[in-house]
Structure 1
Amino acid sequence: MKEIKVGIIGAGGIACSVHIPNYQKIENVRVIAVADIKAEVAENAAEQFNISNVFTDWEDLLKIDEIEAVSVCTPNAFHAEPSIAAMKANCHVLCEKPMAVSVAEAQAMADIAKEHQRILQIGLASRFSPGSLYLKSIIDSGRLGQIYYGRAVAMRRRGIPSWGGFTRKDMSGGGTLFDIGVHAIDHVIWLMGAPKPISAFGSAMTKFGDRHDVINPDWGAWDVDNFDVDDFATGSVRFENGAMLTIETSWASNIEGIGGSYILGTNGGVHVVGDTIFEQRNGKLANTPIELPSGPGGHETEVRRFIDAIRNGLPSPVDPEEALNVQKIMNAVYQSTETGRSVDLS
């Protein structure tokens, strides 16, 4: 079996906790280079994982002809440029979520992937948990009937990131919507069958992150004075097939126990993280248990699927067009915040 050599662009937390360890679990896959704008961060990753080539400029990493696959683990605002350059250098790309910070950037990434026939996979790991994959098979079988509504929820009572550039717009492009909202939105739409969005309306707000009186028990102090992104966002999306989606996401809120994401069909409904189908059977309401399989977590499986696609010439495990539609929805919520109007996505 041919060895696949991998380069890592951005050597922070997600690279060292998810990407590199999971590549190293796969036979005949070797991470041979790492790049980070901070030399100490790159060197620490190289030492921790025994990586031979260390750079402070990702362009130098892409000059290594042996590299066939690249993980882009930079802050959101720096996803597009290295991803596009890597694909032009004939590398397949696993880019962290969100796809980009603008629709134009995301569209350019998808276009280059198609033009150069490269795999572009966005790191939407919620799709790949054992429970999600099993639930997808149930929905695709038609068990729930016509899917007409989804609720995408990623709500924290307190959970404002206190590290990295999450709370700076120049680094992240957005706040909770781009950070955790993206996972919930993609997860639910994917389970719904990836209908095409045609319009979106919403609002992104800052209610806690710019206040010195707000506590953050688990993650501690963040840069309050330079906080300029959303810590709460909500929205509604209409799809071409008539289905609807609502969005709720927050890093901080004064509520608990609101429940999570769910999907409604004409024959049944499910919580996205759950083990029950709510349906009507034999003239009675029934709560039918489903036995969820065990297996590797979503992050490990997304990396394995990426490598499998490269080895076997398969399409991207995350269709770039689906990730692009999620980007359009999120940016439409931001646009709607400014205009107070619905945004046409058709």
Structure 2
Amino acid sequence: MWSSQKIDSGSFHESSSHRNILMLPALALGKETSTNDAVQYGDHHFVPCDLVAQLDNFQDASSLVGASVYTTSGGKFDQKGDWYYYLSGRLLDSNTCQIGDMRVRFEYVPDGPATILALQTDDEKLAGCGTFLPYRLVSRGFFGYLSGKELQRSLVAEGKLSGDDLYERGACGGPLASLCCCCNLVKKLFAQLSPPQIYGMFRGQLSAQECFERLSSQAVAKKWMFRLLGWVLLYAGFMAFLHPLFVVFDIIPFLGPYFGTFVNYAVGIVAFLGTLAVATLVVSLAYMVYHPLLGLLYLLLTGAILAAPMIISHLLQSNEDFKVLA
């Protein structure tokens, strides 16, 4: 069995009779990716490493590496199939592996046509060359107008901001920092992992519409991933907040377990409705800024979710009153 990390034999039940070793202990296990920092796009543009890292069409590099690979410590890996093996002095044709054997595989992203959707600017490190930055929204003044040069300077300055810079600009500081720690944590997460920007590199020659469609699909996937994560955390928060009710009913003699089971289901339903209402409310408030009509629809949905239990309760109460009068 091959493993990408060392298995500690000291945790075995019979650790005295089993000992895992590495024949090349200086060689780190696991996956390591090295990004070329001198990728040229066209004649005068160089691609940043974070753009290059978006390409994932890796191919086997054995044809470029050769039949054998030597380490700095003198170890020799010989090729067999798609892998290079270090078999502790045994022949490569051996069909059995032993403790201490190691193998490695080399892959690379080949040169080829690619399409970049980003902000084009001058490279400050290489005179006469260009590079790419993230395209982000900038303030265009009260009347929504900036001249060409002013707009270009603003876009370049915005594109140079790091994730930490974006967080520092939007985070709540001063006396509100402790009160807004959760909001700051979310801002930190989005500033580092998913900042609002257009910045993509795609394999092959694509049209602008195809690039935007791919970015749109990626944004939709991220949106629903974060939404589901938020809903799960919100539901867990509601359940944790209402958890003392379980204990209150469980301590009732004899009937406690039965009441506890009923309360578990009831609290679960209440927590689910609360999660649904708060989640749609947050989404509606967010959409009110960018898509007011869609935000209004979500706001109406929030009202319907909140009103549904009250309407059902009122109908049930009316039905009971009707039975009493009858």
Please identify which structure carries the higher helix content: 2
Structure of higher CA gyration radius: 2
TM-score class, shorter-chain normalisation, is: under 0.3
Please identify which structure carries the higher strand content: 1
Taking structure 2 as the reference length, the TM-score comes to 0.22
